[in-house]
Amino acid sequence: MCGFCGYVNTTKSIDENKIIKDMASTIKKRGPNALNVFVDKKTALGHTRLSIIDVKYGMQPMTKENNGNNYTIVYNGELYNTNEIRDNLISKGYNFTTKCDTEVVLTSYFEYGTDAVKYLNGIFAFAIYNDKDESIFLARDRLGIKPLFYSFNTDLDAELKFIFASEIKAILKHPDITAILDRQGLMELIGLGPAHSPGNTYFKNIKEIKPGYFAIYKNNKLELTKYWDLETKISYESEKQVIDNIHDLVVDATKRQLVSDVGICSMLSGGLDSSVLTKVAKDNINDLTTFSIDYVGNDKDFKSNDYQLTKDSDYVKIMQKFLDTNHKTILIDNTQLFELLNTSLIARDMPGMADIDSSMYAFCNKISKAGFKVCLSGECSDEIFGGYPWFYKEHLSMHDGFPWALSENLRDNLVKKDLLKENELREYVESKRKETLKNVTFIDKDDDFENRFRSINYLTIKWFMMCLVERTDRMSMANSLEVRVPFADHRIFEYVYNIPARLKLGVSKNSNVTEKYLLRKAFEKELPNDVVYRKKSPYPKTYDPKYLRLVEVKMQSILDNKDSKILNIINKDYVQNMLDTHGEALTENLFGQLMTYPQTLAYLIQIENWLNLYNIEIDI
């Protein structure tokens, strides 16, 4: 797993490589094993490498000749069907000099052109430069597990025309790029944060290649094309057929992702998803190490609620004993959690999920320090199998906004008065929701339950899952750790997306909803019953009052400082009332149960730090 960057000038040839080296150095943690650059005419490419497959020979940027043209690739990702593609290309007459998937991606482009992405099973982002016509082909994996950002300057007189990178910080390192928060960025930041609409960021003129898209830059023009999306199809299979197929798909996806020239471990929370993957991994790796996360004092501070009924630690013990793994529990100190708010902000380049990000950063840091480069995670299962309450609770699924937030009033009140027009923020948010749902089609327009589920399913994948995936990628790669997500195999998503909603939830006219019913049934004979039918439990967060005191004191100091940049965009009186009442004045959570009062304060703290650390100009 790696990081890359690149830029293109319009007229001036690049005769030195300092800028591209500086850009690449900002993402060195994504690839600490090597940093290399490539410069040709008006194009520069940079790459940092985390060596996992073909450690000795898989260096990048990688150049290969085909039909008299030289093509150079920078690539971040892992393919899980490398051998099949390579064998097919060899049968067509191509030769390979490495074992790594980078050369397979590049050679696939020789054979299939832009259709090459349709043959790739994996997580990836890459750019391929053609020295003959000076074009660049860029692509991102179907579900957006790997990042790819860019900025395209439409000013005809601009020298820097096109710039791209795995992380925003590399783009900002270029001397011709300025960090700006404009009106749209503000509405993303306050109206949608810590999520953002597909294709956008909080920075003016810095975009992302959307999941399932590729781009072609040529002759100072940029063209974006969608190559994949979830499509509605009719499923005729019986429940048994569906359960058997899900079992086989999950096992196959997981086994494919165990391929590595370095050691692999697994995150284990005691929930269904991580337990399934760990079971498959243990069947194939005898001496498997597993890691779980907890917080200092959570044994006494934990409070059961409707979302988190039970502690992870009890179920981790069940699974560790059942599988006999080499298990390590990582305890996070709550002061450290607060201190890492800045670190996790820099890893994400934007205000994120506050201490939910910080804890993942600390978790990945400990796993990396234990000597691992690759780790399995059960993420991306709830989004496709129906693990969240908004899939079946009508008051959530019928909500006009985003069902994981329900915070329209809070967000309206957070914005400084008169900065936006009345209802402008709500209308922007609703327009983004409707824009996404335009891509959903239905089989029976009269089946309200099915259609509502499908809409929420699509929305969750395109929005909520992306927020979690971004968190995991940035926090792990900031610690030079590759986290693999077997549930995010596009074959699983394509298949499960089209299973009828009632079957997914195990419901009929006379039965209750069972979250992730089909996944539970698929593995109920292979895992302890208590784990299989444990109610969905979210990523754990701290309940320590010490953490709350830390964020309250910090937020108060920001409000008391007349030079705080955040005072230019937030309603100071409203936030002060939040503090004065210790959150009692809040009637909504910023981002569902994941971000309640303490995390809302931490998010605002991150915004202030972001504005300062990134030297952001406010232009609203």
Integer distance in angstroms from the first to the last C-alpha of the chain?
38
List of E strands, 340-409: 374-376
The tokens describing 116, both together, are 């090459």
Considering Cα of 207, then 208, then 209, then 211, what sign does the dihedral take?
negative
Q: φ, ψ for residue 396 (rounded to 5)?
A: -90, -45
Pairing state between β 326-332 and 289-295 = parallel
Residues with Cβ < 8 Å from 438, sequence gap 6 or more? Answer: none
From the list 31, 57, 35, 56, the residue with the least C-alpha distance to 46 is: 35
How many CB atoms lie under 10 A from the CB of residue 194? 25
CA–CA gap between residue 456 and residue 388 (Å, rounded) = 10
DSSP string, 209-260: PPTTEEEEEETTEEEEEE------------HHHHHHHHHHHHHHHHHHTT--
* DSSP three-state, residue 173: coil
Give rounded-to-5 percent helix, strand, coil for the chain.
45, 20, 40
Per DSSP bridges, beta strands 617-619 and 180-182 are: parallel
**Strands 2-9 and 160-165, sheet pairing:** antiparallel
Q: Give kind and range of the element (H or E) at residue 431.
A: helix 424-437
Distance CA 70, CA 504 (A): 49
Cβ count near 591 (within 10 Å): 24
Residue 158's contacts (CB-CB under 8 Å, 6 or more residues apart) are 10, 176
* Exposure letters 166-182 (e unless 16+ CB within 10 A, then b): bbbbbbbbbeebebbbb
Q: 465-477 and 355-369 are packed helices; what angle lies between their axes, rounded to 10 degrees? A: 40
- For residues 614 and 193, give the distance between their C-alpha atoms in angstroms, rounded to a whole number: 18
Partners of 75 in the beta sheet? 126
2 catalytic? Reply is: yes
Judge whether 353 and 194 are in contact, CB under 8 Å: yes
Give the active site residue among 2, 100, 380, 467.
Answer: 2
Burial code (b: 16+ CB inside 10 Å, e: under 16) for 51-72 equals bbbeeeebbbbbebeeeeeebb
Helix or strand run (H / E) with residue 74? strand 69-79
Q: What are phi and psi of 4, to 5 degrees?
A: -145, 165
523 CB burial (10 A radius; 0-12, 13-18, 19+): buried
Active-site residue set: 2
